[in-house]
Amino acid sequence: MALDEVVRAFCERIAAADLEGCGPFRDWIEQILVDHPEKTALVLPSGTLIEDDLILESDAEPFTNGFSCIVVAGDLTVTGRIYNSDVEGGPSLLIAGNLKAGDLIKAASGIVVLGSVDVEGLTVCDGDNGAFLVGGSLSTAGLIDCDHEILIVGDVKGTVASDDLGNMRALLVDDVFEEPEDTSNEWPEGDLIRDRMLAGLPVFKAASA
């Protein structure tokens, strides 16, 4: 589907959800058209179930076929991980309804959900080039905010570790920091967090999340 049609239709959904004044929802949607005017969008129906991981990387399918984003007309369930590791850029995921996922690990991809998000495991948002915008609430075992643009209009249920709260060292295992023994370093490395999660190793200290 042509991007200009997708942007227009999704902006109408933003207005219908009464989210126009809640944050930069429209800005992020319109930026996709600015960044990728030559590409198209893959549109999935409401109720789509992906029984695997969803990889949001430019060199992964379906994005190698000229798609800049995936747009879901309603609810989306991903039984595995939603994964994006590129801190410079990445395809976008736009969901007009609710999202359920096993884990959500993202860097520069834009993920915009007009409804609520339920992540069984961890939600990791790394770097300052992406955004995670949620029009409803977020439920997750743990949210890690590494200098990311995050907006949750509703409530957040789960342990939150973030730069702003200054609690990274208290909540996260030492091995996600570049110098594990240097407690003055309070900023974890996104690649170390991702590596541990992919290896099935804990990121939060015991009983933290």
Q: What is the pLDDT of residues 131-150, one digit of tens each?
A: 999 999 999 999 999 999 99
What is the pLDDT at residue 94? 98
Residue 176 within any structural domain of the chain: no
Output 25 or 184, whichever has higher pLDDT: 25
What does pTM read for this prediction?
Answer: 0.95
Sheet holding 131-134, edge to edge: 40-44, 67-72, 92-95, 110-113, 131-134, 149-152
Q: Please state the domain count of the chain.
A: 1
- Find the domain containing 112 and state its range: 3-161
For the record, the structure tokens of 111 come out as 């993920």
Residue 155 within any structural domain of the chain: yes
What is the pLDDT at residue 184? 84
pLDDT band at 208 (very low <50, low <70, confident <90, very high): low
Q: What is the pLDDT of residues 43-95, one digit of tens each?
A: 999 999 999 999 999 999 999 999 999 999 999 999 999 999 999 989 999 99
Q: What is the pLDDT of residues 151-188, one digit of tens each?
A: 999 999 999 999 889 999 999 999 999 988 888 888 99
CA angle (28 as vertex; 161, 87 as ends), nearest 5 = 50
What is the pLDDT at residue 26? 95
Residue 23 within any structural domain of the chain: yes
Residue 75 within any structural domain of the chain: yes
Residue 166 within any structural domain of the chain: no
For the record, the structure tokens of 117 come out as 């998000």
- The region that residue 10 occupies, defined by phi over 0 for left and psi between -120 and 50 for alpha, beta otherwise, is alpha
- The region that residue 158 occupies, defined by phi over 0 for left and psi between -120 and 50 for alpha, beta otherwise, is left
The one-letter code for the residue type at 181 is E
* pLDDT of 209 strictly over 70: no
Residue 92 within any structural domain of the chain: yes
